[in-house]
């Protein structure tokens, strides 16, 4: 709605009134909004062709699942003639066979599927089976390139990891060059973040070394326990880079070890939890992305695919850097 408002020169409230056919809008204003819709290749939700059933299925941590759910609900409110549904499973609870079965079950009652999932042969096979039945699948935030999905929409995750390395290299104390890497499940986005991070450290900050990897499992308790165990066994690192979820558990572990503000802590996903951590000094940097744009593009890709049209030009989502000064 912000993009439509910007293109039309109207307020988002006016755009909302036009899209939902509410009274009190002059015809010249209505035309400006509809022209903006056309220029952005976004169809009006009052068009019968936009009445599609699209499901979102996310395998991730609680905070990311909640952010995605809120984004889907906001899009549904703006486009009431779409029928959007949302399903999620916590990282700690995913069993690939059951998750693959859920993909196939959900796809039987929808026109398209938007997926956030780890790389797994069984999950890839399920996506290929769904695609073969004519239900297009789009991957958001993390990719499944061998699954025959029609598109990946998200950051250049290698670039996101490289950005984190640059921030770490310029922030970490030279007296403690050890960096602890926190991971979770085999998501491609996390593997690419780690690749970019290690590559830049190796080429530009050779004095910094990644000593060990511990698991957060995208969960508070996992990340809290494993980070505290690492510190007790090895001493505090100079920095922590979390490519996964569980930022709150890591911040709590640093606090309880008396290390808040002494260890550079960089993670991903700006949400209500990480925003509080930035504001209170529990984190130094958060690498983020525009989840609302990813939702919008994923739906446009599915719509184009179902109409047998060329997919829209999908830009790589910009990598965003958040600090306590710009996380509002």
In the predicted structure, residue 45 carries a pLDDT above the cut 60: no
Contact indicator for 95, 117 with CB cutoff of 8 Å: no
Contact indicator for 166, 198 with CB cutoff of 8 Å: no
Q: Is residue 111 domain-shared with residue 73, that is, in the same domain?
A: yes
Q: Is residue 173 domain-shared with residue 102, that is, in the same domain?
A: no
Query: In sequence order, which ranges of 133-243 are alpha helices (DSSP H)?
Result: 157-171, 188-204, 220-234
* Residue 222 or residue 7, greater confidence: 222
In a domain, residue 201? The reply is yes
Q: Is residue 165 domain-shared with residue 108, that is, in the same domain?
A: no
> What distance in Å separates the CA atoms of residue 251 and residue 270, rounded to the nearest whole number?
15
Q: Is residue 124 domain-shared with residue 17, that is, in the same domain?
A: no
Q: Is residue 145 domain-shared with residue 168, that is, in the same domain?
A: no
User: Distances in Å between the alpha carbon of 191 and those of 83, 143, 302, 307?
Assistant: 33, 11, 26, 34
In the predicted structure, residue 240 carries a pLDDT above the cut 50: yes
**Average confidence (pLDDT) over 46-61:** 79
* Residue 254 or residue 49, greater confidence: 254
**Average confidence (pLDDT) over 32-57:** 71
> What distance in Å separates the CA atoms of residue 237 and residue 227, rounded to the nearest whole number?
10
Q: Is residue 103 domain-shared with residue 219, that is, in the same domain?
A: no
Lowest mean pLDDT among 17-26, 135-144, 242-251, 288-297: 17-26
| 291: confidence class by pLDDT, cuts 50, 70, 90 | very high
**Average confidence (pLDDT) over 88-103:** 96
Residue 130's domain is classified under what CATH number?
3.40.50.2300
Counting beta carbons within 10 angstroms of the beta carbon of residue 127, is it exposed (0 to 12), middle (13 to 18) or buried (19 or more)? buried
**Average confidence (pLDDT) over 63-68:** 95
In a domain, residue 163? The reply is yes
Q: Is residue 110 domain-shared with residue 19, that is, in the same domain?
A: no
Report the pLDDT value the prediction gives residue 47, as an integer from 0 to 100. 47
> What distance in Å separates the CA atoms of residue 157 and residue 195, rounded to the nearest whole number?
9
* Best CA proximity match to 268, nearest among 286, 241, 289, 250: 286
Contact indicator for 75, 295 with CB cutoff of 8 Å: yes
Report the pLDDT value the prediction gives residue 22, as an integer from 0 to 100. 73
Q: Is residue 173 domain-shared with residue 128, that is, in the same domain?
A: no
> What distance in Å separates the CA atoms of residue 57 and residue 92, rounded to the nearest whole number?
16
In a domain, residue 39? The reply is no
| 208: confidence class by pLDDT, cuts 50, 70, 90 | very high
In a domain, residue 216? The reply is yes
Contact indicator for 102, 44 with CB cutoff of 8 Å: no
In a domain, residue 322? The reply is no
* Best CA proximity match to 72, nearest among 60, 97, 55, 96: 55
In the predicted structure, residue 49 carries a pLDDT above the cut 70: no
Laid out side by side, the sheet with 239-242 consists of: 209-215, 178-183, 239-242, 264-268, 285-288, 320-322
Q: Is residue 96 domain-shared with residue 197, that is, in the same domain?
A: no
CB-hemisphere CA count at 13 Å for 78?
A: 23
Considering the chain, what percentage of its residues have pLDDT values greater than 90?
Answer: 77
Residue-number span of the structural domain to which 81 is assigned: 50-154+290-317
Report the pLDDT value the prediction gives residue 33, as an integer from 0 to 100. 84
Report the pLDDT value the prediction gives residue 48, as an integer from 0 to 100. 40
Q: Is residue 165 domain-shared with residue 140, that is, in the same domain?
A: no
Report the pLDDT value the prediction gives residue 42, as an integer from 0 to 100. 53
Q: Is residue 244 domain-shared with residue 303, that is, in the same domain?
A: no
Paired tokens of 230: 């690492």
Q: Is residue 211 domain-shared with residue 120, that is, in the same domain?
A: no
Please state the domain count of the chain: 3
Q: What is the mean pLDDT of the chain?
A: 91
**Average confidence (pLDDT) over 56-75:** 95
In a domain, residue 283? The reply is yes
Instruction: Tell me which range, 35-44, 51-60, 73-82, 304-313, is most confidently predicted by mean pLDDT.
Output: 51-60
| 260: confidence class by pLDDT, cuts 50, 70, 90 | very high
In the predicted structure, residue 46 carries a pLDDT above the cut 50: no
Contact indicator for 164, 241 with CB cutoff of 8 Å: yes
The per-residue pLDDT for range 141-196, each reduced to its tens digit, is 999 999 999 999 999 999 999 999 999 999 987 778 899 999 999 999 999 999 99
In a domain, residue 45? The reply is no
In the predicted structure, residue 23 carries a pLDDT above the cut 90: no
In a domain, residue 26? The reply is yes
């Amino acid at each position: 709605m912000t993009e439509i408002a910007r293109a039309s020169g109207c307020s988002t409230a006016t755009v909302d009134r036009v899209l939902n056919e509410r009274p009190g809008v002059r015809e010249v204003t209505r035309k400006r909004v509809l022209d903006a819709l056309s220029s952005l290749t976004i169809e009006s939700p009052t068009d019968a062709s936009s009445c599609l059933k699209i499901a979102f299925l996310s395998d991730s941590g609680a905070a990311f699942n909640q952010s995605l759910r809120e984004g889907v609900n906001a899009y549904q409110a703006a486009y009431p003639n779409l029928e959007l549904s949302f399903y999620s499973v916590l990282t700690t609870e995913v069993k690939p066979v059951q998750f693959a079965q859920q993909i196939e079950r959900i796809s039987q009652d929808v026109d398209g599927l938007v997926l956030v999932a780890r790389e797994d042969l069984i999950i890839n096979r399920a996506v290929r089976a769904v695609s073969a039945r004519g239900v297009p699948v789009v991957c958001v935030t993390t990719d499944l390139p061998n699954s025959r999905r029609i598109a990946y929409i998200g950051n250049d995750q290698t670039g996101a990891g490289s950005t984190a390395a640059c921030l770490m290299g310029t922030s970490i104390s030279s007296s403690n060059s050890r960096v602890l890497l926190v991971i979770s499940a085999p998501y491609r986005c996390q593997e690419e973040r780690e690749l970019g991070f290690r590559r830049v450290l190796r080429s530009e900050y050779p004095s910094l070394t990644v000593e060990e990897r511990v698991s957060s499992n995208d969960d508070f308790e996992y990340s809290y326990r494993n980070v505290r165990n690492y510190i007790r066994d090895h001493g505090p690192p100079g920095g922590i880079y979390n490519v996964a979820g569980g930022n709150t558990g890591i911040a709590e572990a640093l606090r309880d070890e008396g290390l808040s503000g002494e260890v550079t802590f960089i993670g991903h996903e700006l949400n209500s939890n990480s925003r509080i951590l930035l504001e209170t000094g529990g984190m130094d940097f958060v690498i983020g992305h525009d989840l609302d744009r990813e939702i919008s593009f994923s739906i446009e890709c599915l719509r184009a695919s179902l109409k047998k049209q060329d997919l829209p030009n999908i830009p790589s989502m910009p990598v965003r850097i958040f600090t306590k000064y710009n996380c509002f």
